[in-house]
């Protein structure tokens, strides 16, 4: 799930203000940024990625008016951006002598944070350029002013460019800063005023629009089969389950007796559900989850909310996302602490602020994020700001997990084959999705890569008609980030070099259940057509489900590791590739060419049977142009956690 932009993701690049090697030494240079920077005056330092890729000559509509308003954030590079990236890799790599030697939040700030002198120098330069400083903290300086002052400060004119049928201002050349600042500036965000919103993964009903599943249901995969319906793939398909519970997911992914005790999971989304506390307690009580103990759940909320309108962020739409994330994480790791850290809007700036709070206060070990956007909407300046947070978290032993997307290769929805962000960042764990079959006695049966097609029951009830792609796990090859070290030797060249001769970052890294037809049961307070506001339950999915499930599994693994944080997990995840730690998921677990489907019955009006029912066959394992195959693939990554995944983190365990 994602926000009104069906996203809330965004993030990618590496340190920009310093020589690009700050990120390049650790995980590979983003070639698009390096090419864009170009040479600059000797007394200026280029900020790579500040001219967006969509600001092309053909879209240029001329110079912006000198009085046009500009609001920007100038992100600070800190004492040692290059060293931050290097140390983040070293503490995360099991083959490094520094593996696991994390810093405290205070140590990280003292070693890599911005100095008072750097902040003062940046503030003085901005003020002398005619910009008004409106806020300052350890991470950035915010300014307002006009295009003329921005040109003086950043050495570039602002032009008007057409993007998606609308006109925005953006730098006509790469922005730069005085060399005398000596690398104090990481990047500047806001010189282009195109919307920068994030979206939750799958559209969920908020309190303003109730949603229910109709049924009939299966209680486990295959438990309820209607043989009067047309057959599919040589047999009669079972009804979709009502929604998996924590007990079933824990069994499927090897939880054993681990519960996440002593581990804290942070969850970020925009806004905050006013009924979340009572909803999660009631859900746990009704569905066999362990009751929440006093202090186990907490919230960190901003002082106010912004951009709450339907056309911008749709605040109510985020409540369902928050509910799913918290209930799923608790279901898998029932003793883990959970802290919800809210962004005051779905704007990238506000989500970055939420992530900063987690890192600055070392609020959690694991951070689950079910939001994002497509890579073509990502701007390298914002990406650099995200990656700085991820790198700082890595040196503190904090791991970030992002849902990989819900639209497969994105061609059907966005017209271009591409990955999602921030899941494309080399510094986060991208979580893909599967369709999951849990059988009688909570037995793991199989998984396919999540990719669903829908066919409706014919009017005469004798056949299934049509086949429409309804969603699938995001994945694919980044056009921006080069291949990180941990993917070498695992990701096939056919994927890594899909866009050219240079190996690039491919996602996802790992996967879990995501298909809404084999999804998770959630409970949420909603508003019904008669005006009543009450708690109800429904089945939902998306990689918004997969991300908190994997976050929960990682909490179990950290407990198995005697509480030692796993931190940035990708090197350890790939280190286990090819072992019994994973289910190696394919699109055809029952045999080559053998299709699989489930029957779903839905209310036409999403609430009750007053307007009738719709019966459909949901075919599984067909994700756009992406495929789940033996070994690493661009739907499920290295696979899903197997029966021995959690115990593989027990010290001394031999995989």
Backbone phi, psi, residue 638, to 5°: -80, -10
Task: Please count the other Cβ atoms lying within 10 Å of the Cβ belonging to residue 601.
Answer: 18
Which homologous superfamily is 247-428+475-511+542-589+622-649 in?
Answer: Peptidase S8/S53 domain (3.40.50.200)
Backbone phi, psi, residue 346, to 5°: -90, 10
Start-to-end CA span in the chain (Å): 34
Q: How far is C-alpha 123 from the chain's CA centre?
A: 33
Return the bridge partners of 2, or none: 200
CA distances in angstroms from 332 to 16, 239, 294, 382, 519, listed in the order given: 38, 24, 19, 33, 14
**Are the C-beta atoms of residues 311 and 323 closer than 8 Å to each other?**
no
**Are the C-beta atoms of residues 446 and 437 closer than 8 Å to each other?**
yes
* Tokens 């696991």, residue located: 100
Please tell me the chain's helix, strand, coil percentages from 3-state DSSP, rounded to the nearest 5.
Answer: 25, 25, 45
* Tokens 């879209």, residue located: 59
Task: Please count the other Cβ atoms lying within 10 Å of the Cβ belonging to residue 546.
Answer: 35
**Are the C-beta atoms of residues 202 and 9 closer than 8 Å to each other?**
no
Three-class DSSP category at 112: helix
**Are the C-beta atoms of residues 450 and 514 closer than 8 Å to each other?**
yes
**Are the C-beta atoms of residues 465 and 231 closer than 8 Å to each other?**
no
Token pair listed for 451: 């990719």
**Are the C-beta atoms of residues 55 and 161 closer than 8 Å to each other?**
yes
- Please state, in angstroms and rounded to a whole number, the distance separating the CA atoms of residues 631 and 68: 53
Least Cα distance to 602 among 473, 526, 516 occurs for: 516
Token pair listed for 580: 């019994």
Task: Please count the other Cβ atoms lying within 10 Å of the Cβ belonging to residue 580.
Answer: 13
CA distances in angstroms from 317 to 145, 159, 306, 654, listed in the order given: 34, 35, 14, 45
Task: Please count the other Cβ atoms lying within 10 Å of the Cβ belonging to residue 458.
Answer: 13
Which own/partner pairs from 33-36 qualify as long-range (CB within 8 Å, at least 24 positions apart)?
33/380, 33/480, 36/174, 36/380
What's the confidence (pLDDT) of residue 26?
Answer: 38
Q: What size, in residues, is the chain? A: 655
- Which string of b and e fits 315-337 if b means at least 16 CB within 10 Å? bbbbbbbbbbbbbbbbbbbbbbb
- Please state, in angstroms and rounded to a whole number, the distance separating the CA atoms of residues 93 and 568: 9
Least Cα distance to 474 among 426, 413, 520 occurs for: 413
Location of each CATH 3.40.50.200 domain in the chain: 247-428+475-511+542-589+622-649
- Please state, in angstroms and rounded to a whole number, the distance separating the CA atoms of residues 526 and 533: 6
- DSSP 8-state symbol, 237: P
**Are the C-beta atoms of residues 473 and 621 closer than 8 Å to each other?**
no
What's the confidence (pLDDT) of residue 654?
Answer: 63
**Are the C-beta atoms of residues 267 and 328 closer than 8 Å to each other?**
no
Token pair listed for 40: 């600059």
What's the confidence (pLDDT) of residue 2?
Answer: 41
- Please state, in angstroms and rounded to a whole number, the distance separating the CA atoms of residues 18 and 4: 35
Least Cα distance to 49 among 471, 382, 351, 514 occurs for: 382
Token pair listed for 196: 């920068």
Least Cα distance to 270 among 304, 297, 238, 223 occurs for: 304
- Please state, in angstroms and rounded to a whole number, the distance separating the CA atoms of residues 340 and 318: 13
- Please state, in angstroms and rounded to a whole number, the distance separating the CA atoms of residues 499 and 419: 12
Q: What is the mean pLDDT of each run of 10 residues along the chain (655 residues)?
A: 36 29 36 43 87 93 96 97 96 96 97 97 97 97 98 97 94 96 96 83 53 95 97 96 97 98 98 94 94 96 87 84 96 98 95 98 98 89 95 98 96 93 97 98 98 96 94 95 96 97 98 97 93 93 97 98 98 97 97 94 94 97 96 98 97 75
Query: Which residues lie closer than 8 Å to 593 by C-beta, 6 or more apart?
Result: none
Q: HEC states along 605-633?
A: CCCCHHHCEEEEEEEECCCCCCCCCCCCE
Three-class DSSP category at 492: coil
Torsion of the alpha carbons at 466, 468, 470 and 472, rounded to the nearest 10: 120
What's the confidence (pLDDT) of residue 171?
Answer: 97
What's the confidence (pLDDT) of residue 201?
Answer: 53
- Please state, in angstroms and rounded to a whole number, the distance separating the CA atoms of residues 228 and 507: 41
Q: HEC states along 377-399?
A: HCCHHHHHHHHHHHHHHHHCCCE
- DSSP 8-state symbol, 646: G
- Please state, in angstroms and rounded to a whole number, the distance separating the CA atoms of residues 447 and 590: 10
What's the confidence (pLDDT) of residue 16?
Answer: 30
- DSSP 8-state symbol, 574: H
Radius of gyration from C-alpha coordinates of the chain? 24
* Tokens 């060293």, residue located: 83
Least Cα distance to 428 among 354, 378, 486, 491 occurs for: 486
Task: Please count the other Cβ atoms lying within 10 Å of the Cβ belonging to residue 32.
Answer: 17
Return the bridge partners of 465, or none: 456
Residue 170: burial class (beta carbons within 10 Å; 0-12, 13-18, 19+)? buried
Return the bridge partners of 401, or none: 368, 429
Return the bridge partners of 232, or none: 235
Token pair listed for 270: 């925009």
**Are the C-beta atoms of residues 112 and 395 closer than 8 Å to each other?**
yes
- Please state, in angstroms and rounded to a whole number, the distance separating the CA atoms of residues 108 and 125: 26
**Are the C-beta atoms of residues 313 and 307 closer than 8 Å to each other?**
yes
**Are the C-beta atoms of residues 318 and 206 closer than 8 Å to each other?**
yes
């Amino acid at each position: 799930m994602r926000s009104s932009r069906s996203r809330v993701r965004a993030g990618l690049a590496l340190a920009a203000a310093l020589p690009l090697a700050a990120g390049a030494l650790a995980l590979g240079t983003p070639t698009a940024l390096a090419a864009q920077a170009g040479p600059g005056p000797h007394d200026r330092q280029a900020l790579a990625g500040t001219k967006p890729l969509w600001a092309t000559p053909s879209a240029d509509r001329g110079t912006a008016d000198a009085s046009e308003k500009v609001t920007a954030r100038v992100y600070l590079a800190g004492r040692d951006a290059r060293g931050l990236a290097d140390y983040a890799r070293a503490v995360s790599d099991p083959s490094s002598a520094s593996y696991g030697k994390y810093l405290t939040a205070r140590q990280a700030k003292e070693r890599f944070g911005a100095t008072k002198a750097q902040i003062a120098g940046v503030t003085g330069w901005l003020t002398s350029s005619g910009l008004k400083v409106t806020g300052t903290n350890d991470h950035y300086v915010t300014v307002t002013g006009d295009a003329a002052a921005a040109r003086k400060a950043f050495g570039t004119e602002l032009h008007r460019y057409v993007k998606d049928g609308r006109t925005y201002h953006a730098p006509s050349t790469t922005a730069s800063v005085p060399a005398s600042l000596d690398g104090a500036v990481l990047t500047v965000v806001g010189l282009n005023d195109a919307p920068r919103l994030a979206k939750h993964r799958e559209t969920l009903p908020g309190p303003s629009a109730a949603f229910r599943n109709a049924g009939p249901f299966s209680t486990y995969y295959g438990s309820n089969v209607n043989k009067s319906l047309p057959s599919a793939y040589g047999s009669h398909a079972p009804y979709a389950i009502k929604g998996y519970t924590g007990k079933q997911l824990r069994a499927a992914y090897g939880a054993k007796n681990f519960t996440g005790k002593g581990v804290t999971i942070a969850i970020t989304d925009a806004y905050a559900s006013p009924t979340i506390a009572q909803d999660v307690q009631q859900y746990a009580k009704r569905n066999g989850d362990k009751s929440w103990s006093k202090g186990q759940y907490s919230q960190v909320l901003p002082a106010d909310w912004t951009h709450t309108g339907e056309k911008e962020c749709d605040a109510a739409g985020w409540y369902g996302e928050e509910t799913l994330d918290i209930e799923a994480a608790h279901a898998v790791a029932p003793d883990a602490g959970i802290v919800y850290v809210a962004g005051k809007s779905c704007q990238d700036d506000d989500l970055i602020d939420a992530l900063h709070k987690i890192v600055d206060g070392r609020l959690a070990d694991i951070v689950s994020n079910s939001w994002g956007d497509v890579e073509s909407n990502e701007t390298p300046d914002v990406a650099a700001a995200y990656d700085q947070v991820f790198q700082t978290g890595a040196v503190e032993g904090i791991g970030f997990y992002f849902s990989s997307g819900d639209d497969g290769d994105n061609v059907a929805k966005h017209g271009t084959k591409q990955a999602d962000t921030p899941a494309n960042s080399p510094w986060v764990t991208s979580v893909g999705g599967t369709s999951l079959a849990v059988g009688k006695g909570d037995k793991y049966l199989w998984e396919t890569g999540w990719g669903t097609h829908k066919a409706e029951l014919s009017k005469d009830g004798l056949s299934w008609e049509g086949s429409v792609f309804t969603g699938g796990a995001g994945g694919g090859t980044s056009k921006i980030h080069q291949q990180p070290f941990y993917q070498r030797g695992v990701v096939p060249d056919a994927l890594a070099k899909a866009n050219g001769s240079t190996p690039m970052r491919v996602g996802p890294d790992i996967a879990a259940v995501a298909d809404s037809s084999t999804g998770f049961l959630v409970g949420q307070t909603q508003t019904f057509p008669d005006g009543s506001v009450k708690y109800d339950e429904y089945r939902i999915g998306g990689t918004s489900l997969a991300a908190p499930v994997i976050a929960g599994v990682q909490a179990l693994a950290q407990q198995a590791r005697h509480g030692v944080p796993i931190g940035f997990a990708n090197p350890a995840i790939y280190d286990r590739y090819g072992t019994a730690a994973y289910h190696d998921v394919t699109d055809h677990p029952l045999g080559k060419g053998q299709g699989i489907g489930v029957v779903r019955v839905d209310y036409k009006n999403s609430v009750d049977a007053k307007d009738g029912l719709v019966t459909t066959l949901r075919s599984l394992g067909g994700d756009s142009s992406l495929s789940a195959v033996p070994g690493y693939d661009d739907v499920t990554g290295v696979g899903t956690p197997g029966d021995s995944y959690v115990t593989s983190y027990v010290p001394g365990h031999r995989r």
